[in-house]
Amino acid sequence: MKKVINVPEQVVEEMLQGMVLAHSQYVKRVDGFEVLVRANKPGAGKVALVSGGGSGHEPSHAGFVGRGMLDGAVAGAVFTSPTPDQVYEAVKAVDNGKGVLLIIKNYSGDVMNFEMAIEMANADGITVDKVIVNDDVAVENSTWTIGRRGIAGTVLVHKIAGAKAEAGAELEEVKRIADKVIHNVRSMGMALDSCTVPAAGKPSFVLEENEIEIGMGIHGEPGTHREVLRTADEITDHLVDKILADMPLAVGQEVAVLINGLGATPLMELYIVNRKVAALLKEKGLHIAKTYVGNYMTSLEMAGFSISILKLDSELKELLLAPADTPALVQF
C-alpha cells in the first residue's frame, strides 16, 4: 500500500481537520464528532439537510456543505456508515426548529445507522425525515437485492433539495423534491482498477491487465461482471444504454448529466466520456441543460467513472441551476 497518510487509524480525523482549515469560510467541526456543519448556521426558518456515509468518497459529503446544498455532513470510517450517535449530533447541530431531512444512500448499514439516529432525535422532539437515494441501475435487475445502491446521483439530490430548502420550503416539500430527484436520476459506473482501504492495506479486488468491471459500486465492492477493456466510446455507449433502458426518455426531454470520476481517473478521460455522452444524447433528441464533470463521489483511488442522467422538468431545472456556494460546488 502506497498512500500519503500518517496512520490508517487517523485518516478520517486528519482529513476533517484539513478540510476545516482549508474551507473555514464554509464549514466548522462539531467538537468531538466526525461532523462538519456550515460555518454560519442559517437563521430560523430553513429546513436543514444532513447527508453522510463512509469516508473515502470525497468531496462527498462535507464538500457539499454550504449555501444552497447541505447543512451538515457526517463522516464515517472509510467505506463504513457513520454511527447513530454521530448522525444524531449532526441533526442536533443543524436543527433550526423547522425539521431536518437526512439524505441516505441505499446501503443496509447506512439505512440502519441513520434510522437509529432518527429514533434518537425524535425522542428529543426534533422532526427528522429521510430520503434514500438508489440511482445505480447496475443492480436493478436482481430480485435478490435490497434495492439499488446509491451512488453519484446523490450529489444531484443534495443540489436540488438544498436549493429548495434554501428557498424556505417546508420539510415535506423539501422531501418531495428530494424524492422527485431520486425518482428521475439514474447512474451506472465502471472501474479500471481497484482501491485500497487504508486499514485493510491491500486492494479491495484485483483486475487483470486489460480487464474492467462493469456496474461497480463506490465501496470497492464487486460489480455485475467483468470484461475486456474497450474504447471510451464503447464503454460509454454501454453505460448510457443501460441507464436509458431503465429510464426511457422522450425526444425533446431536457436532462442534466454528471460524469463522475471515482478518484484516479484523469479529467482528460472524463471529458472524453462526456463528449460521447453528449453525442449519444443528442442522437436521441435529448437536450442537456446542465453538465457536471469531475470528482464528486469518489471511491478513494479507484480508477473509473460513473455516468448519471437526471430527467428534468421546469421545477427541477430551476432548482438545479440555482446558486450554490460550497467547498466542492460553486455556481452562480
Partner 1 sequence: MSGDLYEVISAVGETIIGNRQMLTDLDAAIGDGDHGINMARGFEAVKAKLQTLETESDIGKVLKTVGMTLISSVGGAAGPLYGTAFLRAAAPSQGKTELDVETIGLMLEAAIAGIKERGKATTGEKTMLDALVPAYEAFQDGAKTGKSVIECLELACEAAKQGVEFTKTIIATKGRASYLGERSRGHQDPGATSSYIMLKALLEHLRR
Q: Which residues are catalytic?
A: 57, 219
Q: CA geometry: angle at 63 spanning 116 and 135, to 5°? A: 60
Joined together, the cell numbers standing for residue 312 give 428534468
CB of 194 closer than 8 Å to CB of 220: yes
Q: Does 306 bind partner 1 (CB under 8 A)?
A: no
Site residues (CB under 8 A) for partner 1, limited to 28-57 = 54
Least CB distance to partner 1 at residue 135 (A): 14
Q: Does 189 bind partner 1 (CB under 8 A)?
A: no
Least CB distance to partner 1 at residue 229 (A): 21
Q: 3-state class of 298 per DSSP? A: coil
Cβ nearer to partner 1, comparing 196 with 236: 196
Q: Does 82 bind partner 1 (CB under 8 A)?
A: yes
Residue 177's nearest CA partner among 87, 290, 49 is 49
Q: How far apart are CA 65 and CA 39, in angstroms?
A: 9
287-294 and 254-261 strand pairing: parallel
Cβ nearer to partner 1, comparing 40 with 141: 141
What lies within 8 Å, CB to CB, of 6 at 6+ separation is 14
Among 43, 144, 209, 332, binds partner 1 (CB under 8 A): 144
Q: Does 116 bind partner 1 (CB under 8 A)?
A: yes
Site residues (CB under 8 A) for partner 1, limited to 229-258 = none
Among 7, 22, 85, 172, binds partner 1 (CB under 8 A): 85
* 184-219 residues labelled b (16+ CB within 10 A) or e (exposed): bbbbbbbbbbbbbbbeeeebbbebeeeebbbbbbbb
> Side by side, which strands form the sheet with 303-311?
225-228, 211-214, 185-193, 303-311, 254-261, 287-294
Cα pseudo-dihedral 92, 98, 99, 105, rounded to 10 = -100
Cβ nearer to partner 1, comparing 54 with 72: 54
CB-hemisphere CA count at 13 Å for 1? 18
Stretch that binds partner 1, among 58-66, 74-82, 153-161, 316-324 (CB under 8 A): 74-82
Q: Does 60 bind partner 1 (CB under 8 A)?
A: no
Q: Does 175 bind partner 1 (CB under 8 A)?
A: no
Least CB distance to partner 1 at residue 302 (A): 12
Cβ nearer to partner 1, comparing 146 with 330: 146
Q: Does 265 bind partner 1 (CB under 8 A)?
A: no
Cβ nearer to partner 1, comparing 17 with 145: 145
Question: How many angstroms separate the Cα of 267 from the Cα of each of 197, 222, 272?
Answer: 23, 24, 9
Q: How far apart are CA 285 and CA 156, in angstroms?
A: 23
CB of 106 closer than 8 Å to CB of 140: no
Among 26, 79, 292, 296, binds partner 1 (CB under 8 A): 79
- Contact string (CB under 8 A) for partner 1, positions 211-230, x = contact: ------x-xxxx-x------
Cβ nearer to partner 1, comparing 194 with 326: 194
Among 16, 48, 65, 83, binds partner 1 (CB under 8 A): 83
Q: Does 5 bind partner 1 (CB under 8 A)?
A: no
Q: Which residues bind to partner 1, rule: CB under 8 A?
A: 54, 76-86, 107-109, 112-113, 116, 139, 142, 144-146, 149, 197, 199-200, 204-205, 217, 219-222, 224
